Amino acid sequence: MAHYRSVLITGASSGIGEALAHALAAAGVTLHLSGRDAARLHRVAEACRQRGATVAEQIIDVRDTAAMEAWIGGAGRLDLVVANAGIAAGSGRTDGERLASTRDILGTNIDGTLNTVLPAMEAMRTQPLGADGYRGRIAVIASIAAFVAIPGSPAYCASKAAIDTWTVASARAARTAGIGLTSVCPGYIRTPMTDRNRFPMPGLMEADKAAGIILRGIAAGKIRIAFPWWMAALARIGGLMPPRILGKLLPTPPGGDPT
C-alpha cells in the first residue's frame, strides 16, 4: 500500500473519515483533519497523535469556498486529499427528505466536495512527481446511492451521482497532469449516522474495513471503487428499472450517509 506523508481529510470526526485517519496515522505522517464537531475531531486527532502522527485540526464549513481555499492552500505539499464531508436526511426517516434540507444536502455534498477537490488539484499541479509517478492523489467519497434514484432520498442520490460522475469524467485529464482522482462508492457503513437507521441495511460494513478497501483501491490507481460489489451491481440494475417499478420495490429511503 502507498505511503503518504501528508494527508488532508474533510469530515474526519467520525465514520469513514475517522477510520481513514486512524489507518493513515503513523510516525512521519502529517494529517490535516477537518470536521464540524470540535470535541469529536479532537478525540480523533488525539488518537492519531498516539499513533505517532502530527495532526492539525480545523473546524470549517466545506461550503465556505474562500475558507477552504485558504486552508488547503496553506497546508503545504499534500500526497493524499480525501473529500469525505457529506450529509444526508438521516435518522431513518420513512417519509423522505424534508424539502428544507435539500439545499443543505446538495450544497454540502456537491459544493463542499468541489471546494475540497478543486483547490487540491491546483495545489498538486505545482508539486513535483513522486516516486509513484503521481504529484498527488484525491479521493471523493460518493456512494452506491449514486447509481440509483431512490424515491425517498432525491437530494442525497442526486448529490452523490453528481460527484461520482464528475470525478470519473475528470480522472483521465487529471492523470495526465500527474494527479490521481478516485470516486469511492460504498454501501452501508457503520457510523453514528447509520446507527440511527431503523430499517435493514444489507451489507453493513465496519468503517475500518471500508477504509482498508478504499486505501488499497487508491494505491492501485482505480478511478472508481464500489463496494460491496454485489450491492453496486444491484444498484446498477435498479437504476435501469422504470421509475414506477423501482418506487414500488424501494418504498423506504436509505438515509444512510457513508460519511
pLDDT tier for residue 258 given thresholds of 50, 70 and 90: very low
End-to-end CA distance of the chain: give it in Å, rounded. 23
User: What is the distance between the alpha carbons of residues 197 and 91, in angstroms, rounded to a whole number?
Assistant: 5
User: What is the distance between the alpha carbons of residues 143 and 161, in angstroms, rounded to a whole number?
Assistant: 8
81: helix, strand or coil:
strand
Q: What is the pLDDT of residues 120-134, one digit of tens each?
A: 999 999 999 999 999
Rounded to 5°, angle at Cα 129 from 72 and 23: 60
pTM of model > 0.85: yes
pLDDT tier for residue 166 given thresholds of 50, 70 and 90: very high
Q: What is the pLDDT of residues 91-121, one digit of tens each?
A: 444 455 677 689 999 999 999 999 999 999 9
Go through the domains of the chain in sequence order and give each one's CATH number: 6-249 (3.40.50.720)
Enclosing H/E stretch for 213 = helix 207-219
Q: With contact defined as beta carbons under 8 Å apart, do 80 and 73 qualify?
A: no
Enclosing H/E stretch for 115 = helix 112-125
pLDDT at 255: 39
Model confidence at 195: pLDDT above 90 = no
Provide the β-strand partners of residue 136: 179
Residues annotated catalytic, as ranges: 156
The sheet carrying 80-83 orders its strands as: 54-59, 30-35, 6-9, 80-83, 136-141, 179-186, 224-227
pLDDT tier for residue 219 given thresholds of 50, 70 and 90: very high
Q: With contact defined as beta carbons under 8 Å apart, do 185 and 146 qualify?
A: yes
Pairing of strands 224-227, 6-9: unpaired
Residue 15 has which C-alpha cell? 465514520
Q: Give the number of other Cβ atoms within 10 Å of residue 57's Cβ.
A: 19
Average pLDDT, the chain: 90
Q: With contact defined as beta carbons under 8 Å apart, do 18 and 208 qualify?
A: no
Residue 122 has which C-alpha cell? 491546483
Q: Which of 72-81, 142-151, 187-196 shows the highest mean pLDDT?
A: 72-81
Closest CA to 146 of 118, 196, 182, 183: 183
